[in-house]
Structure 1
Amino acid sequence: MKKIGFIGFGNMASAIALGIIDAKFLNANEIIAYDIDENKAEKMRSYHIDVAHDIDELIACSEFIFVGVKPQVVESVLDPYIQKLENKAIISIALGYDFDRYQTFLDDSTRHIFVMPNTPVRVLQGMSLIEEKHSLKDQEFEFVKNMFSAIGQVEVVSSHLMSTAGTLSGCGPAFVYMIIEALADGAVKEGVPREMAYTLASQTLMGAAKMQLETHLHPGVLKDQVCSPGGSTICGVEALEDGKLRATLISAISAAVHYQEKK
């Protein structure tokens, strides 16, 4: 019996699987996966993860069933296996498939939980939101919480906040990568070599983020600590304010949230 069977092995599911292996939370031989894409199957084999011949086999030999397919195909993928999923435990990362939505088509005996992770789980620095409302047994819930804690930070979140909070942590890495790229471009413009600029920008963001997490100081206070009167930093802050950086980032979160509401 495998501990987890992954249905779908796309970017997010594979990041989680490889993250928990790297974190030594599970061994590769405790995981099995299935994907219709043979290239993804080859990727699984390269990491010594067993590949199921079909979903029937995966369900039969897995303690937890991990749903990692695209939201638009969740029900068409699972519908043929509703009976086989009876008395099984499901971990789902499919956006929009929260507890209440799964209740509409799964058997009452099928236990399930909705988790919204982000891609930095691959380097054990993820931010994963676990829906507070679920039907797992206590020991199953602890397993899920411990698994995602092994690959980053975890927050247990009320159902009504999952969409907005998940937008921040899920879409946020893309926004941060754009900030890293822009900061590096600015340094390159002034003569810094490209690879050095990426290192400086990435490490600076990582260090600043860690400082806020560990000190719990308001970001504005930490910003003020860097800004000497009449110095270069406050001049840069003025340029960011002129460019409406904060307003633009706020708008980015709102745009992503409202897009999801339309789906």
Structure 2
Amino acid sequence: MNHRLGIIGFGQMGGAIGSGLVTNGALEAGQVTAWDLSPDARGHATEAGIATAGSVAELCSGCDIVLLSVKPQDAPTVLEEAGAGLAGKAVVSIVAGWDVETLSAHLPEDARVLRVMPNTPARVAAGAFGLSEATTVTDAEKATIQDWFSTIGLVEWVPEKLMDAVTGLSGGIPAYAAIIVDALADGGVQQGLKRPVARRLVLQSLLGSAQLMLETDLGPGDLKDAVCSPAGTTIEGVRAIERAGIRSGLIEAVIAASQRAAELK
């Protein structure tokens, strides 16, 4: 089936997904329409070759699958504007904290729902997507949507009750990673490296370490042990990390973000 995707909210995340799906061949630009209140966001859609609708109702009338990509506080108003235009359609929601039950309560009875938790590396086809198993879309729609997201990242199906955990983990990791990169680069600068050099070394080392664990049977502990020679330099660095409580801090970050996601319902 030649699906048509309507994107309600073409901001950072909606824009990353929409542009990514087109750039990576999941959809033709002509199969996608976007709506956003922001002129800048509409401009970004136009730059990607994606048509823009003048209203939410207009967007809904021309598509069979809708990506809802707005802030939680804006979702009720937008869905009220969409109204019956979402009847009989598949609604893919990336609204943080809104579970399937909450979303369904704001939709026509015959609308079908799939909840997705994305992250911003989707912009470079390197996203990580948690898809809720508590979906009401058809099997054919489920397969189509999974195929779409697979073109711009990793897809993992998880129980609905764990979607807030996905929000706190992979949803927040780009921010956590940015802090880690900045801190490590600061360490390099303190030791005399120029910042651009330090940052490139950090980014490539993190990318390579992630690829090594993804493409081999090395787990995090295995990789750490392989690098930490007895009485060597790296084990001293690891000792400093543990002494500073960085591991615990990262665990607490995931817990705090997950709890906040649950509060947004």
TM-score (norm 1): 0.96
Determine whether 1:149 maps to 2:150. yes
Following TM superposition, by how much is the alpha carbon of 1:206 offset from its aligned partner in structure 2, in angstroms?
Answer: 1.1
Secondary structure class of the residue paired with 2:10: coil
Superposed, 1:211-230 pairs within 5 Å as 211-230=212-231
CA contact (8 A) 2:166 2:258 kept: no
Q: Which residue in the other structure is 2:208 paired with?
A: 207
Secondary structure class of the residue paired with 1:200: helix
Q: Which residue in the other structure is 1:75 paired with?
A: 76
Q: Which residue in the other structure is 1:11 paired with?
A: 12
Letter in 1 for 2:231: G
1:11 and 1:80 map into 2 onto residues whose CA distance is 22
Secondary structure class of the residue paired with 2:91: strand
Following TM superposition, by how much is the alpha carbon of 1:81 offset from its aligned partner in structure 2, in angstroms?
Answer: 2.7
Superposed, 1:168-183 pairs within 5 Å as 168-183=169-184
CA contact (8 A) 1:121 1:152 kept: yes
Letter in 1 for 2:222: V
Following TM superposition, by how much is the alpha carbon of 1:183 offset from its aligned partner in structure 2, in angstroms?
Answer: 0.8
Secondary structure class of the residue paired with 1:72: coil
Q: Which residue in the other structure is 1:107 paired with?
A: 108
1:260 and 1:111 map into 2 onto residues whose CA distance is 22
1:84 and 1:241 map into 2 onto residues whose CA distance is 54
1:28 and 1:130 map into 2 onto residues whose CA distance is 24
Q: Which runs of 5+ in 2 are unaligned?
A: none
CA contact (8 A) 2:97 2:263 kept: no
CA 1:215 to 1:144, structure 2 compared with 1: closer, same or farther past 3 Å? same
CA contact (8 A) 1:41 1:51 kept: yes
Q: Which residue in the other structure is 2:91 paired with?
A: 90
Letter in 2 for 1:97: W
Following TM superposition, by how much is the alpha carbon of 1:80 offset from its aligned partner in structure 2, in angstroms?
Answer: 3.3
Following TM superposition, by how much is the alpha carbon of 1:86 offset from its aligned partner in structure 2, in angstroms?
Answer: 1.0
Letter in 2 for 1:5: G
CA contact (8 A) 2:97 2:262 kept: no
- After superposition, the CA RMSD in angstroms is 1.4
Secondary structure class of the residue paired with 2:147: helix
2:91 and 2:217 map into 1 onto residues whose CA distance is 35
1:244 and 1:169 map into 2 onto residues whose CA distance is 21
Q: Which residue in the other structure is 2:186 paired with?
A: 185
TM-score (norm 2): 0.95
1:58 and 1:262 map into 2 onto residues whose CA distance is 30
Q: Which residue in the other structure is 1:127 paired with?
A: 128
* Number of equivalent positions: 263
Following TM superposition, by how much is the alpha carbon of 1:2 offset from its aligned partner in structure 2, in angstroms?
Answer: 6.5
2:82 and 2:48 map into 1 onto residues whose CA distance is 27
1:41 and 1:87 map into 2 onto residues whose CA distance is 26
CA contact (8 A) 1:2 1:32 kept: no
Following TM superposition, by how much is the alpha carbon of 1:212 offset from its aligned partner in structure 2, in angstroms?
Answer: 1.4
Q: Which residue in the other structure is 1:64 paired with?
A: 65
1:83 and 1:28 map into 2 onto residues whose CA distance is 26
Listed one character per residue, the Cα deviations across residues 169-213 of structure 1 (whole Å, up to 9, x for unaligned) are 001110011111111111111121211111110111111112112
Secondary structure class of the residue paired with 2:84: coil
Secondary structure class of the residue paired with 2:130: strand
Following TM superposition, by how much is the alpha carbon of 1:105 offset from its aligned partner in structure 2, in angstroms?
Answer: 2.8
Listed one character per residue, the Cα deviations across residues 46-85 of structure 1 (whole Å, up to 9, x for unaligned) are 1211011111211111121111111111111112332221
Letter in 1 for 2:21: I
Q: Which stretches of structure 1, 4 residues or longer, exceed 3 Å deviation after superposition?
A: none
Secondary structure class of the residue paired with 2:33: strand
2:146 and 2:126 map into 1 onto residues whose CA distance is 15
Secondary structure class of the residue paired with 2:74: helix
Listed one character per residue, the Cα deviations across residues 101-144 of structure 1 (whole Å, up to 9, x for unaligned) are 12223222111110000000111110000000111111110111
Letter in 1 for 2:181: I
